[in-house]
Amino acid sequence: MSKLIFESDRQKFIRLSHDAKGYHRRAVLFAEQSQSPGLIFNVASIAVECYLIALCAWYGSMPYNHNYGSLMDSAEEVIPFAPELSRQIRALDEIFGICSLDNYHHGTPTLEDTLGIIAICRELSALLAPLESQGSPAQ
Q: 138 lies in a domain?
A: no
Domains in the chain, number = 1
pLDDT in tens, 2-23: 555 678 888 999 999 999 999 9
Instruction: Note whether residue 54 is domain-resident.
Output: yes
CATH of the domain at 69: 1.20.120.330
pLDDT class of 126 with cuts at 50, 70, 90: very high
Q: Is position 139 within any domain?
A: no
pTM: 0.86
Q: Which of 51, 44, 42 is nearest to 16 (CA)?
A: 51
What is the residue range of 98's domain? 9-132
pLDDT for residue 20: 98
Mean of the pLDDT values across residues 63-78?
88
